[in-house]
Amino acid sequence: MTSNSELWARREAAVPRGVASMHQRFFVRADNAEAFDAEGKRYIDFATGIAVCNTGHGNARIVDAVKDQLDRFSHCSFQVTPYESYIALAEQLNARAPIEGDVKTIFFTTGAEALENAVKIARAATGRRGIVTFQGGYHGRTLLTLAMTGKVTPYKARFGPMPGDVFHTRFPIPYHGFDDAQAIEGLKALFASSIEPSAVAAIVLEPVLGEGGFYTASYAFFQALREICDEHGILLIADEVQSGFARTGELFAMDWVAKENGVKPDLMTIAKAMAGGFPISGVMGRSDLMDAPDAGGLGGTYGGSPLGCVAGLEVLKIIEEDDLNARARHIGSAIKARMRSLQRGGLEVIGDVRGPGAMVAVEFVHQGDPNRPNPELTRKVVTQGAEEGLLMLSCGLRGNVLRFLPALTMPDDVLEEGLDRLEAVLERLA
């Protein structure tokens, strides 16, 4: 049997350090919400490959759909000879998109690719150059999406200069003492100091910050953004790469906003969980905007691969037939209830527990003080959790947030076992 340490030594010799791995453990098998490493150790997975396997590892329905497609063909490029599954997936998503009017969808391979093309579409549609994003937002690792990403270390450091005409403003985080009104004033100050609103093509934001710490933009904030965008002819782009496909308890986080106050984005980017682990991403948007680029201006060799398309169609069926939106709300409620119980029970290191659906975060601080982040404890919890058979991730601008992204198919007994293990780790470390 090859050990984790032996594999890690080979990794260090063959793979550059720029691609980091949070855990020095190597998957050899995974089933739904559990994974097993090279030494046979079992883990309860609260990470799901960074919000990718919402439908669980190795979902048999997705595997069967992909196997059937492999028997027919694996690749031909939609730009050369199109295929029906691409169209079918676009039709299904168009019908579900929380976007006003007729909708069209184009597919790519990665989340960053989707964001880059959303910017291209916005610039083509408006004839403007400027893009406004938010501090703490994460949009990818390509140079343009790095410019859009609002976190320097480890993403931007030493990779400059960044592409121009990308501007950052501060995301509202009331827990840190910065509310919606202050954020809107900051955006207006940006318009006064850095770029006139008539030159801005789009405002891009994650409805729930991913790498930034799982802070949720309020309904009121989206209402204010929509009004500003409409006043100045700016497009509103929702980056749902991490929050999409039932993660928040609705198919998209923007569904919550649309139901609350009718606010809808003009374009949306999607990826991660849309195909149960198979690489595919997309941009959805109003038809008039999506048709702005010239023929041939958008695309990519592997964009909307046949394997990703059939997997994506199956994911949508699973979400609806198994009611994974309700399941996400149930799982998230259980996690938040347990963490808040520990908080009330005297664990002052737990400063805040938050997040919609099964997109849950715990923010660690010193003695309950939001202004005293505790990234050291966060690192220890992730490391010690792995020793106890838990796969978890951290995030946040201050590195002090533990994030939960479990499979929405996780059984209750596995969820409770994982929370029991985490509770033991927290009580020991805190």
Q: Residue 357 maps to which CATH number?
A: 3.90.1150.10
Assess whether 331 and 379 both reside in one domain.
Answer: yes
Instruction: Please give the full DSSP string across 287-312, using - where no structure is assigned.
Output: HHHHT-SPTTSS--TTTT-HHHHHHH
Cα dist. 112→49, 83, 333, 387 in Å? 16, 24, 31, 32
User: CATH number for the domain including 145?
Assistant: 3.40.640.10
Residues 265 and 384 in one domain: no
pLDDT band at 409 (very low <50, low <70, confident <90, very high): very high
Q: Above 90 in pLDDT, residue 76? A: yes
Pair 234, 339 in one domain: no
Q: Is residue 191 part of a domain?
A: yes
- Asked whether residue 201 is domain-assigned, the answer is yes
| 224 shares its domain with 91 | yes
Shared domain check, 329 and 267 = no
Instruction: Give the structural domain span for 383.
Output: 4-58+323-429
Q: What span, in angstroms and rounded, lies between the C-alpha atoms of 153 and 367?
A: 26
Burial 195-216 (b: 16+ CB within 10 A, else e): bebeebbbbbbbbbbbbbbbbb
Q: Mean pLDDT score of the chain, rounded to an integer?
A: 97
With CA atoms as reference, report the closest residue to 407 among 110, 64, 61, 34: 34
Is the pLDDT at 139 greater than 90? The verdict is yes
Comparing CA positions, the residue from 94, 125, 55 lying closest to residue 289 is: 125
Q: What is the mean predicted confidence (pLDDT) over 237-247? A: 98
> Are residues 138 and 17 located together in one domain of the fold?
no
Residue 430 pLDDT grade (very low, low, confident, very high; cuts 50, 70, 90): confident
Q: Which two tokens stand for residue 37?
A: 């490493």
Residue 80: what pLDDT? 96
Q: Give CA–CA dist 321/332, Å, rounded.
A: 20
**Statement to judge: residues 92 and 228 lie in one domain:** yes
CA 209 vs CA 154, 171, 253, 289, 332: distances in Å: 17, 9, 11, 25, 17
Q: Is residue 101 part of a domain?
A: yes
The CA distance from 204 to 195, in Å, is 15
The SS3 of residue 418 is helix
| Calpha distance 172→174 (Å, rounded) | 6
- Is the pLDDT at 1 greater than 80? The verdict is no
Q: Tokens for 56?
A: 């669980």
Query: How high is the pLDDT of residue 204?
Result: 98
Q: Decide which of 321, 341, 373 is a domain's last residue.
A: 321
Same domain, 317 and 327: no
106 shares a domain with 37: no
Q: Looking at the chain, how many residues does it have?
A: 430
User: Mean of the pLDDT values across residues 222-232?
Assistant: 98
Instruction: Write down which residue in 293, 321, 349 finishes a domain.
Output: 321
Asked if the structure places residue 50 within a domain, the reply is: yes
Find where tokens 């720029």 sit: 18
86 lies in a domain? Answer: yes
pLDDT single digits (tens) 328-387: 999 999 999 999 999 999 999 999 999 999 999 999 999 999 999 999 999 999 999 999
Whether 10 and 99 map to the same domain: the answer is no
Residue 64 lies in a domain: no
Pairing of strands 166-169, 130-134: parallel
**How far is the first Cα of the chain from the last one, in angstroms, to the nearest whole number?**
36
- 106 close to 282: Cβ distance less than 8 angstroms: yes
Number of domain units in the chain: 2
pLDDT at 53 over 90: yes
Same domain? For 299 and 418 the reply is no
- What are residue 98's phi and psi, to 5 degrees? -80, 60
Dump pLDDT digits (tens) for 283-333: 999 999 999 999 999 999 999 999 999 999 999 999 999 999 999 999 999
- Domain check: are 122 and 254 in the same one? yes
The H or E element spanning position 270 is: strand 267-270
Assigned domain for 240 exists: yes
Question: Where are the extended beta strands (E) located within 76-215?
Answer: 103-108, 130-134, 166-169, 200-205
Domain membership flag for residue 350 = yes
Cα–Cα distance for residue pair 230/105, rounded to 1 Å? 23
Task: Please write the tens of the pLDDT for every residue from 154-201.
Answer: 999 999 999 999 999 999 999 999 999 999 999 999 999 999 999 999
Q: CA-to-CA distance for 244 and 251, rounded, in angstroms?
A: 6
Portion of the chain with pLDDT greater than 90, in percent: 99
Domain boundary (276, 297, 321) is at 321
Question: Sheet holding 235-239: strands in order across?
Answer: 103-108, 281-286, 267-270, 235-239, 200-205, 130-134, 166-169
The whole-model pTM stands at 0.97
